Structure 1
């Protein structure tokens, strides 16, 4: 509705009229002093125009327009962008897709509903942030949202809805989501914010998405407790242990498949079992015995078949990393008394999982019961290597020594170590082992001992004595001297007999040979533990491992190599396990570590370098935070001063898996009741819950509320109030008076 009105100065129409009359009277009465009528009419006309402008300014005419419309306000829309929105909405569709479709309908309706209504959108997960919408829609910005939040904080989302209005009145808040709160709550939480909205007169409209508890959706099958790595040996029978955890599948047989994926990515299924769930919530322990495959590296995949009604599928599978090596070896160490030598040999060999070391003690104070029955440990095939320490032959007896000789003849390895009751001093010269050992024994060598410390000299290169480096002879000379040793009558003269180490006086210290299909060694000294104590632990480990492997007929290359270990090979994204790498080399090459993802992208890992007094160079570090998926840890010689390393040392690699165990994905059940409770706290303002497909109903409610919120809006356009009318009036008034003054000056009038 429009109208015309006068708003004279000082609010008095009478005063304005009087002033108008006076102005016109003065203009007509005081005429220009000129007899020329034409000039007088020009001057009087200019004065009258100026007077008319002045009169309009005093009367101030105005056009007033009155309209009823709602005041400017904002609707705030909150969208759930946490990972739980990737789960099912109860009808088989992802919750996030359902949310996106519903939001698109809502925004389209709001954009055409009311020009005075603005729309503010926020996305929330562990925190909340605004979403910038393009004018007239914003669908592109909504489509770009992804459900990647690691947790949900409904309290932060509710607080953000108030802040998003940026000081405007809030017409209402629309909150989408599954209603699950996965972050710790302090204070009143989201309920307190809902009460604040109610006190402000703002309705909260919630749109729950996802199945509630009891809706038949709490059904799940999970593989658990599978070790993250295995060390197998080719051809051995191995056990695979894991658990199948079920919910909601009582009386159901769940197929479980086991597959091996080799280095080339080829997958082969090798076992399938049925896990029978007896109860609604059940844990079924599984033990599967299989034969280890050929040597290599594999991924063991244990996967439960997807069942109807499952909402979480990421836990149906677990992966373990398998290293299969050539057949391993069981080592039996027989001693008369616990010596330092055994303690350090055990410390060195336990680092290698393919060597299983077992010790048997026969103390000297048990002589009355000699020979001791060792329950058939010398039977062929029971152990692969035998180590005879400081033990008298009488403790084993003739029959068991015969069994030992037969086991060596059948392919087992044997090494005898120096001591006070070994070799000839222990009576072995009169036993069948005199034929087995590669040295001739004195029948009584009680006085044939080397009692003074001596250095070891390398006599020939051999897989046992290769300790790395460019000067192997010097490495042996630099080792701490041995404190003493047994003396042999000499090495046997037979094919394959070799003296590898000798004393400074050329006494044989390490002699190797063969007996039947087995290999044998005679080690005259028993103080290799001194290498470890002097900081040469890596030399000690390498020597004893190479000796064991040679006795097993599995010589290991003496080349320098990197030994790499990880604390865990399957872990969640927020865990950062440690790793260690060492180089068994005297060259002290620097090492560098990288994490490599499935796309081949390399990430440098910060490491701490430690160089001990022995020949090992070691680094340790921590796996950084990585994206879920398969990765590799690579440790290699580092470039020096920008130049590639010339070392022949091959990089060492370990595969590992970063798993996504988001707390959001472990709760498949939504909490629509909580969102309904939040909305009900603003029921007096019109708050309530809607299903995602009910957005047209919500738009109708918003439209009705906007009509009820309409108020008269008065728009007044008064002459002279704005620059569009004020400046023309001023210029006309000033122009008339200036022209009148100019003409009088030109015509020489007073």
Structure 2
């Protein structure tokens, strides 16, 4: 039995009908057949008609639904938990959950033996995945390292598509430890409700009650931190306490350096007042020396804890030497500042703070954040479009003093930069390398328009050209540098400087020979004046690498670190804390001080296992970096990876990273069972007899369900739709192309082309 129907594209009969009508109407427009025979005209028309018919079929998408009836033996499925949490104590028995589950299975098999000829009994074991058990041979001990109940339920139901399921028996402790399930739990609930079969669920193990599942666990601690030397780092972790309310529990944070030296930086008690509550532990710490450190946050084990494997957790800290600190003050939430920050923050050795100073709030100026200009912790200051009136006289004098003592300053172009921003009458008049006039100052306000004689406003923008060789403007080799600058998208506009001071040096100019980037010195510090404020166009047009390089070079030059020609060997790990058996992909490379990759480098990577054995790791070069992989890390403990870079026989540098393969078992770290999760599944089938059943009641309840009528007639529906199968779609497409090709070849052969 079957029936034909259509499923038009976009579920629109109107669209399919309209397009088909236009196609068939086009057949009435006869081409110029000249004087060829009528038979040939009919052949060409038939080809065209065939093409139109095929396209119309594709638009309407015919569907054939076929129904067949068959007698079906009902299926009874058993899902058995084989994860390591089943090795934990059971709630009522003296043994483990696994032993209690095995006893229950033996009782169930005895109860269903008389129904073997009436039902098909299928047994499955589940952990992260689900697998059928041949001959009811279950493993001797559970070894699964994570539980995914929803995905297991969904998969066994999917395998029985078209068959009647008489009952499903689910046993386990109900805990879900798989963090990335294949199927979400809600989807599994929906699939279960569609079966029309009762689910009998049985839970093993103690629930979250304090008397049954005493446990102290370090729940969260970030995997890794990065901090500069002598900067304060706040280490934050959470400790979950179950079964020890109003009891003082001592915690500690221990730091271990690369040479193995350990020191305790914090010991403090925590107390929780509600069972299952988490306490936050925060410890400030600073490091005086660069390098890699391991931090371990732990809680003292308590009497009658079910497991102590989760009482400690470690993280790794990379302490960077010579971090460059930058303060960026700007008057726009959009535009240049976003892209400039992205480029600078891409450098691991740059720490950037920024503040938005809103010209709409000028009635409240001077802005309090102007006090940041007196902060001696910053190496470079960036000011973009902020009027001088936003700062106090003392703020700008403090900035001038900072530059005089060796700090760097760059002012970017904008409506309120340089003279238009009112800096002529401030301490920065002597600091900036360009001349300003008292009459340049513009009125501040959101509706103020640009003064043409103070800004370059060419319709085609400002094309930048380097005037001389300088570290700041070196984007490529000397022979390619000018062409590279000229190929960058022109700036939208720029400030027109009144003049350049005699001691200053012009580094970039526009097509009118107007200065765009001017460098200078003030005291022991360095200064740049950049007339533009739209280098974001470089980023938006795919030149992010040059954008990052230019701005990094500016900062290094201002901080007087451009002469440091050393190279940075780097090693990046996506994770520093891994479970047993995991793989680790890593990336390594070498950067110059400008941030660009270094060529002609030979890279060697070695790893050291927890037992001290060392071996070389093979890597593959991908563009300007190297990639490698450590496979199947089954030994718990601390691993080290060390990268050595050489150019010929000369050592360029080394980099080292440490990671931990944790012995902390997700299945053993939480001793509490979760019967509520099993109950949620059972409630989906409540109307057909599903329930959360105690272990001693399960055999009798199962027998009760199996005494109901067995055999039934099952209607199996099969559906065919044009183009659903890949090979059918290809045949349809080739047939269409063939008709078009034949029609064209015939017209060519008969002189109509």
How far apart, in 2, do the equivalents of 1:469 and 1:562 lie? 22
Contact 2:576-2:659 within 8 A present in 1 as well: yes
From the superposition, tell whether residues 681 and 399 of structure 1 become closer, same or farther in structure 2 (CA, over 3 Å). Answer: closer
The offset of 1:255, in angstroms, is: 1.8
Match in the other structure for 1:459: 468
User: Does residue 84 of structure 1 match 2:91?
Assistant: no
* Post-superposition offset of 1:321: 2.6
Cα deviation, 1:283-335, whole Å, max 9, x if unaligned, reads 21222222244222222221112222222222212222322224656544344
CA distance in 1, matches of 2:89, 2:576: 30
Out of 529, 534, 541, the residue aligned to residue 548 of structure 2 is: 541
Q: For residues 603 and 97 of structure 2, what CA distance do their matches in structure 1 show?
A: 43
Deviation at 1:562, TM superposition (A): 7.9
8 Å Cα contact 2:379/2:407 also seen in 1:
yes
- For residues 611-668 of structure 1, the C-alpha deviation after alignment (integer angstroms, 9 at most, x for no partner) is xxxxx96999999886585688989999xxxxx9999997877655565553355236
CA–CA distance in structure 2, aligned partners of residues 631 and 82 of structure 1: 25
- Cα deviations across residues 552-600 of structure 1 (Å, max 9, x unaligned)? 4555966776877676654667999999989864889999999968466
| Structure 1 pair 571–430 and aligned structure 2 pair: CA distance change class (3 A) | same
Q: Deviation digits for residues 71-112 of structure 1, max 9, x if unmatched?
A: xxxxxxxx997423665799xx9969999xx9xxxxxxxxxx
1:667 equivalent in alignment to 2:674: no
Kindly indicate whether the alpha-carbon contact (under 8 Å) linking 1:124 and 1:152 is maintained by their aligned counterparts in 2: no
Give matches, 1:106-255, under 5 Å: 126=127, 147=143, 150=146, 180=173, 218-255=213-250
Residue aligning to 1:321: 316
1:720-741: CA deviation from partner (whole Å, max 9, x where unpaired): xxxxxxxxxxxxxxxxxxxxxx
SS of equivalent residue, structure 1 residue 315: coil
CA distance in 2, matches of 1:518, 1:387: 14
| Structure 2, unaligned runs of 5 or more | 1-79, 104-122, 153-170, 177-187, 441-450, 676-692, 704-753
Q: CA RMSD in A?
A: 6.2
Q: What residue number does 1:198 align with?
A: none
Q: Is the 2:233–2:285 Cα contact (8 Å) retained in structure 1?
A: yes
Measure, in 2, the Cα distance between the counterparts of 1:316 and 1:377.
43
Q: Does 1:357 align with 2:357?
A: no
| Secondary structure at 1:302 match in 2 | strand
After superposition, where does 1:402-421 map in structure 2 within 5 Å? 402-410=397-405, 412-421=407-416
Report if the CA contact (8 A) 1:301-1:318 is conserved. Answer: yes
Q: What's the secondary structure of 1:434's corresponding residue? A: helix
* Matches for 1:336-735 after TM superposition, within 5 Å: 336=331, 340-352=335-347, 354-363=350-359, 374=369, 376-381=371-376, 384-396=379-391, 398-410=393-405, 412-441=407-436, 447=453, 453-457=462-466, 459-462=468-471, 464-465=472-473, 467=475, 473-474=481-482, 475-482=484-491, 483-487=493-497, 489-493=499-503, 500-501=507-508, 509-516=516-523, 518-552=525-559, 569-570=576-577, 585=596, 598=609, 627=634, 629=636, 656-657=659-660, 659=662, 660-663=664-667, 665-667=669-671
C-alpha change, 1:560 and 1:470, in structure 2 (3 Å) is farther
**Quick check: 1:309 aligned with 2:304?**
yes
Answer whether contact 1:458 1:501 (CA < 8 A) is retained: yes
CA distance in 2, matches of 1:340, 1:563: 32
Distance 1:558 1:467 in 2: 16
1:215–1:451 Cα change, 3 Å: closer
- Once residues 387 and 670 of structure 1 are traced to their aligned partners in structure 2, the CA distance between those partners, rounded to angstroms, is 56
CA contact under 8 A between 1:182 and 1:664: conserved in structure 2?
A: no
- Mapped to 1, the partners of 2:549 and 2:85 lie a distance apart of 52
Structure 1 residue 370: deviation in Å? 6.4
Number of equivalences = 531
- 1:173-192 CA distances to partner (integer Å, 9 max, x unpaired)? xxxxx974668998678999
Q: 1:450 to 1:259 in 2, by over 3 A?
A: same
Deviation at 1:272, TM superposition (A): 1.6
Is 2:467–2:506's contact at 8 Å kept on the other side of the alignment?
Answer: no
Residue in 1 that maps onto 2:40: none
Quick one: distance in 2 between partners of 1:125 and 1:372?
63
Q: In the superposition, relative to structure 1, how do residues 349 and 682 fare at CA in structure 2: closer, same or farther (>3 Å)?
A: closer
1:252 to 1:586, Cα distance in 2 relative to 1, 3 A: closer
Q: Quote how far apart the aligned CAs of 1:234 are.
A: 1.7
User: Cα distance 1:124–1:432, how it changes in 2: closer, same or farther (>3 A)?
Assistant: closer
The answer for the alignment partner of 2:39 in structure 1 is none
CA contact (8 A) 2:520 2:527 kept: yes
Cα distance change, pair 355–532 in 1 and its aligned pair in 2 (3 A): same
Asked whether the equivalents of residues 591 and 636 of structure 1 are also in contact (C-alpha less than 8 Å), the reply is no
3-state SS in 1 of match to 2:307: coil
2:293 matches 1:274: no
Any idea what the Cα deviations from partners look like across 1:257-301, whole Å, max 9, x if unmatched? 212233444433222221123344332122222224422222222
Q: Distance in 2 between matches of 1:594 and 1:412?
A: 39
| Cα separation, 1, equivalents of 2:596 and 2:641 | 18
Residues 94-152 of structure 1, C-alpha deviations (whole Å, 9 max, x = no match): 969999xx9xxxxxxxxxxxxxxxxxxx9977558799x9xxxxxxxx99x78456459
**CA separation in 1, counterparts of 2:372 and 2:315?**
34
Please say which structure displays the higher CA radius of gyration: 1
Does structure 2 conserve the Cα–Cα contact (< 8 Å) formed by 1:251 and 1:277? yes
CA–CA distance in structure 2, aligned partners of residues 210 and 311 of structure 1 = 11
Distance 1:455 1:670 in 2: 66
How far has the Cα of 1:254 moved from its partner?
A: 1.7
Q: Distance in 2 between matches of 1:646 and 1:443?
A: 60
Question: TM-score, normalising length from structure 2?
Answer: 0.54
Whether the 8 Å contact between 2:434 and 2:497 is mirrored in structure 1 is no
Mapped to 2, the partners of 1:392 and 1:371 lie a distance apart of 10
Distance of 1:479 and 1:95 partners within structure 2:
70
Mapped partners of 2:210, 2:412: distance in 1: 72
User: Is the 1:371–1:397 contact (alpha carbons within 8 Å) kept by the matching residues of 2?
Assistant: yes
Question: C-alpha offsets along residues 397-426 of structure 1, whole Å, 9 cap, x if unaligned?
Answer: 544322332343455432112334433444
Q: Describe the SS at the equivalent of 2:343.
A: helix
Uncovered stretches (5+) of structure 1, i.e. residues with no partner:
1-78, 103-121, 134-141, 157-177, 193-207, 610-615, 639-643, 684-750
Secondary structure, aligned partner of 2:266: strand
Displacement after TM superposition at 1:224 (Å) = 2.1
Q: Give the match's secondary structure for 2:430.
A: helix
- Matched residues in 1 for 2:669 and 2:219: separation? 16
Counterpart contact for 1:331–1:356, Cα < 8 Å? yes
> Residues 81, 272 of structure 1: CA spacing in aligned structure 2 closer, same or farther, 3 A cutoff?
same
| Bigger mean CA offset, 422-431 vs 536-545 | 422-431
Q: CA deviation at 1:220?
A: 0.9
**Structure 2 CA distance, aligned partners of 1:350 and 1:341?**
14
